[in-house]
Amino acid sequence: MGILNATPDSFSDGGEFLSVDAALRRAEAMIVEGADIIDIGGESTRPGSSQINAEEEIKRTRPIIAAIVKRVDIPISVDTSKLLVAHAAIDSGAEIINDISGLRFDERIAKLAADSGAGLVLMHSRGAFHEMHALEPVADIFAEVTASLAKSLKQALDNGVRREQVVLDPGIGFGKTPKQNLELIGTLDRMVEASQGVPIMVGASRKSFIGKLLGDVPTDDRFAGSLAAATIAIWNGASILRVHDVKATVEILKTVDAIRSAIKSGDLVMSTA
């Protein structure tokens, strides 16, 4: 899943793809690089960001979604937790709703997904919009995330969403300590097992915990760390990676798949020398 932020203030690429032409060029470039999904967001959810109204978010995203849908044939996702924005995106041709609140902000998004047949990504987060990055971390992050996502999944299913429409996201970076982010990625296989067949998406690309780990480096210097996180996540069972650097991530995925295939086929022989 390639990230396309139609925002002036996103932490990584804010202001770069506000125009339809710039966004379209970026989407086409990511598809050439190997993106399977383009995720379009009109509201920054970085730490310290301010929530905008639905009308402004629709103004930013709807023209871009409509233009991209006319030019490409891969699924378009809208990154929103607002019902009106999700409606406008689906009406414009989007096929996936990526809800960072896991239905906490507006459960009616589940009914929209059920009625439209759209895919639904449910992400773990806590608190109101302005609190998501500021709340004190919980003691047991695995228990918190799995319990919260189970609740979100039940809400979706109770509203008529089919299980095969849903993807779960542990919400890397949202109210977790750097250590907890590492724990979630490093033990993702446990979450995959707990999800009972519902695919897991991981979005660790360029996030602040990587910057802290590497010595408080700026966003542009988190490339290698992002690839390392993506490699471990996919090895541990993630089905979707939400990333900025599509080409490099696709290359590591091909390498991971080749290694897995070699292990399964028995082509790898361990030296005893």
On whether the CB atoms of residues 229 and 206 are closer than 8 A, the answer is: no
- Please give the distance of CA 125 from its chain centroid, rounded to a whole number: 12
Q: Is 207 a catalytic site residue?
A: yes
Provide the CA 121 distance to its chain's centre, in angstroms: 8
206 is known as an active-site residue = no
Query: What HEC string does 118-149 produce?
Result: CEEEEECCCCCHHHCCCCCCCCCHHHHHHHHH
Catalytic residue among 207, 212, 260, 264: 207
Of 242, 247, 254, 260, the catalytic one is 242
Task: Kindly list the catalytic residues.
Answer: 207, 242
